[in-house]
Amino acid sequence: MKKTITLFAFALSLLGIKAQTVADFEGLTLAADTFYENHVSAPWQTSNATFRYEWDVSFGGFWSSGFAYTNKTNTVTGTYHNMYAAIPGKGVNNSNNYVTAWSGYPAEKMMIKLAPTQVAVNGFYITNSTYAYKTMLNGGGPARKFGDTLHTHSGMIPGDYPDWFKLTVHAYKNGTKKTDTVEFYLADYRFADNSKDYIVKTWDWVDCSTLGAVDSIFFKFYSSDEGAFGINNPTYFCMDNFMTTSSIFTGINKMSDTGKFHAYPNPFTAQLTIHAEAGASVIVTDLSGKVLYTEALAQEISLVDLNFLQEGIYFLELNSGGQKTIKKVIKN
């Protein structure tokens, strides 16, 4: 296994693959205890993504939806006057900058476009904003205290109501919305044992690798506390260390036609047809070098079923006669 990982690390360097990129937002300039504000709807960028930002000029102007980077530290004030602060008070590992997002309006404006496109989103760290956390904990405005039975007409004992607040990550690829999603509960009071009920107040990792290579992602909220105008509790979350893996390759064409080793179609959706010498062995490995599949080929033309793989980029290693050949393959 160590030999395989070493080989793949060498192959990665030859192919010029851009490794993981982490946007920690520390390079974005802010004065102390402030936040990004732009009085036009103008997105802002990191090295791996463009974050949407919407400004509404009505009523003197206000941030209406999207993402704003911030270094606010207020963990006490649970009202809309404290829209930008995260409940931990700092970013991941006590860093200064992080991002606060809210859905506001119009719908589906909490969007992140990836740079370049067709990039795998590894994931990001998430927590509640102070405003959202305090409102779910104590109630306020139209929002009830989570777990409380006020206005539920449930007949339950106060504290037993199964409230929840969920964020769903959606994705687009080639302009089409994917069916795969990632869910994360920012609060969950559905446990039979009330001592297990929680509202997130630490930085937790959200794994988005199952989405595969995508062009953009966007976020939607769902909640048990809804009224005539939608969700009652504040629809905010905070993000840090947004991580992606690029799929930029150089020099790949020379390797893909080496010797008598052919694999097609590429990209593929479920199965690969492999032309190689009978008795050759094939290893499928992800970008980290982890072996996902092995097979000894019994004939020169073999059909290999890889439908179990997630969408993304993989390497196909052929071992024959003491020689090794590597190809990049993409599963759509």
What is the end-to-end Cα distance of the chain in Å, rounded? 27
What local confidence, expressed as pLDDT, does residue 19 receive? Answer: 55
What are the structural domains, with CATH classification, of the chain?
Answer: 2-11+250-331 (2.60.40.3080), 18-245 (2.60.120.1350)
Residue (of 178, 196, 176) closest to 187 by Cα position: 196
Tokens at 53, concatenated: 């930002």
Average pLDDT, the chain: 85
d(CA 189, CA 224): 10
Q: Model confidence over 155-186: pLDDT tens digits?
A: 777 778 999 999 999 999 988 999 999 999 99
Is residue 213 within 8 Å of 118, Cβ to Cβ? yes
30-39, 72-81, 238-247, 253-262: least confident range: 253-262
Residue 15 is encoded by which pair of tokens?
Answer: 């192919």
Residue type, 108: E
User: Ramachandran region of residue 306, left (φ > 0), alpha (ψ -120 to 50) or beta?
Assistant: alpha
Q: What is the pLDDT of residues 76-130, one digit of tens each?
A: 999 999 999 999 999 999 999 999 999 976 556 789 999 777 788 989 999 999 9
Rounded-to-integer distance, Cα 29 and Cα 196, Å? 40
* Angstrom distance (rounded) from CA 91 to CA 85: 10
**Is 246 within 8 Å of 17 (Cβ atoms)?**
yes
In the chain, pLDDT over 70 holds for what percent of residues?
88
Nearest to 236 by CA among 86, 132, 112: 132
Please report, for residues 122, 205, 218, 284, 307, the alpha-carbon distance to residue 208 in angstroms, rounded to integers and kept in the order given. Answer: 5, 9, 12, 22, 19
Concatenated DSSP letters for 172-223? EETTEE-S--EEEEEEE---SSGGG-EE--S-EEEE-GGG-EESEEEEEEEE
Residue 48: closest CA among 13, 18, 69: 18
Look at the alpha carbons of 309, 311, 314, 319 in this order and tell me if their dihedral is positive or negative: positive
Cα 279 to Cα 265, 296, 306, distances in angstroms: 22, 6, 20
pLDDT of 16 above 70: no
pLDDT at 71 over 80: yes
